[in-house]
Amino acid sequence: MIDTQRAVEASARNGAPVCEFPDGDSRFLYVCVVQPESGNPIEVLEDLLQQARGLSARTRVRSLGEDRGYRLEDATAVVIGHPATLDPVPLEAWMRRRLASGTSLKCLSREGPLALAMAISDRVGCAPGRTRYDRGPDGRVRVEAFELHVAEHCNLRCANCCNMSPLVARHFLSIAEVKTICSRMAGAVVADVLKIMGGEPLLHPEIAAIIEVLRSSGLGDRVRLFTNGLLLPSMPDAFWEALDEMTISNYSSAPLKPRVLQMARDRSRRHGFVLNVKPVNEFSQVLSPRFESDDGKTRKTFARCWLKHRCLVVRQGRFYMCTRAAYADDFLHHVAHQEPPAGTTLDRSGDGISIDDPDLPGRIEAYMNREEPLGACRYCFGGDGEVEPHYQLTRDDVARGVLSRALS
Ligand code: SF4
Ligand code: SF4
């Protein structure tokens, strides 16, 4: 059995480029990237992290014989190898803000230029190290992530949008609604990362104020906004000043202009927020028009599903472990689908929990630990959906209730 920490340290010290499963064991992807050119060390590190993200993406990992991506959030050990002349403190501080709280991070000096090495855990089934959800001393359930969809509609129409944005009506959460959700949920859960998502959150006219509400909610340790970036050039200073973290999904079917990305980088340095730019050129299929009658297959999909740990959301007054369950009714309303066979009913009553439940923390603890699939899992691919190149749907596709042309 490989000693993960020692292997990553050796890789960072050695500085040889690596992207592999040693001994064919796909539980950990080992990556090492090196930047021969010198430059501003933080900018070099930023570039190395971007390279590591590219190497761990599903498209690249497929060449190693595994058809799934590995995420930096699942890195268990990260080591920065730096020349002895460089002060590691700012490098470590910069990297720490970009890693999950449980990731071990170390700097060591090496001969040669900056190198970044990491071991990224397989995320199928459950998050690294998590076997069950428990309530802490404050009575709250610690979760990896919790998201709010502050604008459900979007200015793009991506096929296989996880949140059904092309199919749902224009809808904003008001500041009062955000405050109510935060106050109810903050008594029941605490999230490593609080995600502001959509739809496209920048469409919300009060997005800067919403960021502030979430930051002071006590519901999460970090607040991260996700955007397709199209509206960034028109955002006011108040928005940039409010940000803690921002992830830009740069879609191949609607790519951002280089000057917009550069402006976001400049703003990130000026205002001190964490910026991640994620190139996205493919999407997995999300919900299926086919009803899965086989109990064993549904259980397997649920057991392997990583989304139930990362895509927790409140929608329309109910808490869901995944966005697909939250939007399943919209999918079934708009998309032509197979009905359950005669004599079978689709019970979705337990798919979510009312946030007004008097025992919300206890209900959430039991719900997050359940081993029974949700009703929505009958129509869901979980994390195992086929991959399609990223593309935009037409208005006609949307009018016909198409979320994926391959599945229509
Ligand atoms: S940018 Fe695309 S994937 Fe993201 S919410 Fe909009 S339609 Fe969905
Ligand atoms: S509906 Fe089931 S399989 Fe689909 S994302 Fe949610 S928990 Fe996973």
- Does residue 249 register a pLDDT over 90? yes
- Residue 130's pLDDT is what? 57
pLDDT band at 221 (very low <50, low <70, confident <90, very high): confident
Q: Which residues of 252-285 are buried (b: 16+ CB within 10 A; e: fewer)?
A: ebbebeeebbebbeebbeebebebbbebbeebbb
Q: What is the atom index within ligand 1 of the atom nearest the CA of 199?
A: 5
Question: Residue 161 C-alpha to ligand 1 middle, in angstroms?
Answer: 6
- Residue 322's pLDDT is what? 97
Q: What is the atom index within ligand 2 of the atom nearest the CA of 287?
A: 4
Q: Are 47 and 95 in contact (CB under 8 A)?
A: no
- Residue 114's pLDDT is what? 95
- Residue 394's pLDDT is what? 97
Q: Which of 147, 150, 153, 154 to mutate to test the pocket of ligand 1 (most atoms within 8 A of CB)?
A: 154
pLDDT tens sequence across 348-402: 999 999 999 999 999 999 999 999 999 999 999 998 899 999 999 999 999 999 9
What value does the mean pLDDT of the chain take? 94
pLDDT band at 71 (very low <50, low <70, confident <90, very high): confident
- Residue 59's identity, in one-letter code, is T
- Residue 125's pLDDT is what? 53
- Does residue 129 register a pLDDT over 70? no
Q: Are 366 and 288 in contact (CB under 8 A)?
A: no
Q: Which ligand is nearest to the CA of 152?
A: 1
- Does residue 60 register a pLDDT over 90? no
Q: What is the atom index within ligand 1 of the atom nearest the CA of 155?
A: 6
pLDDT tens sequence across 311-330: 999 999 999 999 999 999 99
- Residue 101's pLDDT is what? 83
Q: Whose CA is nearest to atom 3 of ligand 2?
A: 382
Token pair 């799934």: residue? 68
- Residue 1's pLDDT is what? 63
Question: Residue 394 C-alpha to ligand 1 middle, in angstroms?
Answer: 14
Q: Give ligand 1 pocket residues (Cβ under 6 A).
A: 154, 156-158, 161, 163, 165-166, 198-200, 228
Q: What is the atom index within ligand 2 of the atom nearest the CA of 311?
A: 5
Q: Are 164 and 330 in contact (CB under 8 A)?
A: yes
Q: Whose CA is nearest to atom 5 of ligand 1?
A: 199
Q: Give ligand 2 pocket residues (Cβ under 6 A).
A: 301-302, 305, 307-308, 321-322, 324-325, 373-374, 376-377, 380, 382
Question: Residue 100 C-alpha to ligand 2 middle, in angstroms?
Answer: 23
Look at residue 115 and give its three-state secondary structure.
strand
Q: What is the atom index within ligand 2 of the atom nearest the CA of 325?
A: 1
- Residue 150's pLDDT is what? 98
